[in-house]
Amino acid sequence: MTKTADLKRKLERVLQVGLSLVRSDDLQHIVQLATDAGRELCGAQFGAFFYNVTDPGGESYRLYTLSGATPEDFDKFPQPRNTQVFGPTFTGRSSVRSGDIPKDPRYGQNPPFYGLPEGHPPVRSFLSVPVKTLTGETLGGLFYGHGNADVFDQESEDLITAIAAQAAVAIENARLREDLTRKVDDLQLADERHKETAKRLNQLAAIIQYSEDAILSKDLTGRITSWNPAAARILGYSADEMIGESILKIIPPELHGDEMVILDNIRNGRSIEHFETIRLTKTGERIDVALTISPLRDESGQIIGASKIMRDISDQKRLANSLLQAEKIAATGKMAATIAHEINNPLEAVVNLLYLAREKATDPEQVRYLSAADREIARVSHVARQTLGYYREHTSAVSISLASLVADALRVYKPRCDASDIRVETHFESARKVMARKGEMMQVISNLMTNAIYAMPHGGVLTLTVLDEPNSIALCVEDTGEGIPPDTLPRVFDAFFTTRKTVGTGIGLFIAKQFVEGHGGRIKIESSTAAETHGTKVTINLPLRNEYSRG
């Protein structure tokens, strides 16, 4: 074959290799194909392609592939370094071609081997060509050797340079494809994460939107940054009214110090679980709440605020108090019934003795005294049943006049009024009757009159009024005492609540309310502590027809 024909064949081989390199996207296949083609074209006994790789973590390292030899032939030798022979190729400065490398002045100048390591296949002809991209980046180098001298000429170097250029393009394309694939994968992963995040955010937004608990957030200065519908429902403020406002707006003044402690905990990354406290609504009402507070962090993990879940536990508190009061009432009721029984037993004996004494008395004055004593014992028994034996009457309802009941009670309490310098005014404008349990209504009236007398220790006016109202009869018990403070007034019907410092059980008005409402009626209280209008007025309305009248 002529030299021209051989060169043509080699050039065709270069073109074929170039097409194969460009079509491949496997880096290992590219470097192996380039190494094999180069060895074939230059006639080397063995060749190698040393190339640099950067992993996804950014670390670079050198790999190699062999042609005409096995990895076992070279695995005991270290990788070539930037010596005077290899350096120009690895740095991309130039190719190196030598017809007899052991005689080259650049050979054997670098420790520790000063030439080929012991056991290395003999090399005389040496050719290396850098593999560089169009931008000048050195990707590695093609290295070939032969045991005979003068094997490689300028044509060999030109052919290997062509292969190196094609390999550089193929490697660059493979890297670009790999980078593009990685970016596409990253974008797909980011898109999936974005969708998952959006899904979770939508779920979280729905939870916040439809939660029965108030959910809000604030920054580290206590300024509110979010406010859900439940917060608006519970506290009365809309989101527009609260976002940007201080959290202190809904905290009672005496509890402002708690907020400083809460913010200090949040700044230090500490959560607060089920903290029970008081909050203020827009109308000024105080409500019992339970708070769970957690730090809010940004993407870098820095604490930027707090999220707060607020649960209105007012109903739970009221229920717990009601249960507690019911337990107290049950226990006290049993004790009171026992005491009333023990008091009434000796009273009955005294009544019997008075009866016998009255039967044998001959002096009219003695009879009068004994009759008075009998009436007083009866009154003591009645008071004992009222104050100690607050009971649900089991006798049938009867048709009674409120005015007559008030008159009967007044006969019992008139001496106390006189002793306390209390003037009694009566206005009995109705004699109509209602169906009621007489004992219960007498206990209600007695409790109201006792409270009025207690409220006027230095004298005053007790006004008792009975009058007709549409579909009901009203009883008003009014005193000119010192009055009940506004902050205390809402609690006067609570069991065991009393304003008396030394006497009183705190159940009188509670029981009165139960009895009145048990008759289908209503009871209300008005009071003033003002200097000119001080005093208290309790009004009872009993319907003309109730469940007893239907019976």
State pLDDT tens for residues 87-115: 888 888 889 999 898 888 887 766 666 66
Inform me whether the pLDDT recorded for 28 exceeds 60: yes
Phi then psi for 205, rounded to 5 degrees? -60, -40
**8 Å CB contact between 215 and 230:** yes
* Segment 439-473, tens digit of pLDDT: 788 888 988 998 899 899 999 999 999 999 988 99
In a 3-state reduction of DSSP, which class is residue 219? strand
Which DSSP state fits 140? Answer: E
- CA–CA separation, 527 and 486 (whole Å): 8
Task: Quote the pTM value.
Answer: 0.41
280 vs 382, more confident: 280
Instruction: Report d(CA 65, CA 73) in Å as an integer.
Output: 12
The span from the CA of 377 to the CA of 483, in Å, is: 33
For residue 326, name the pLDDT band (cuts at 50, 70, 90).
low
Per-residue confidence at 391, pLDDT binned at 50, 70, 90?
A: very low
Residue 14, pLDDT > 80, answer: no
- Residue 184, beta-bridge partner list: none
d(CA 218, CA 238): 16
Q: In what order do the strands lie in the sheet with 522-528?
A: 422-428, 460-469, 472-479, 535-543, 522-528
Q: Which of 322, 340, 329 is CA-nearest to residue 507?
A: 329
204-261: per-residue pLDDT in tens?
777 777 788 899 999 999 999 999 999 999 999 999 999 999 999 999 999 999 988 9
With a cut of 50, say whether residue 162 has pLDDT above it.
Answer: yes
539 pLDDT more than 50: yes
176: closest CA among 118, 229, 137, 216? 137
Helix, strand or coil, per DSSP, at residue 422: strand
Closest CA to 233 of 220, 252, 215, 245: 215
Mean pLDDT of 275-281: 92
Structure-block tokens of residue 518: 């048990």
Task: Give DSSP secondary structure letters for 152-202.
Answer: --HHHHHHHHHHHHHHHHHHHHHHHHHHHHHHHHHHHHHHHHHHHHHHHHH
What is the residue type of 153? D
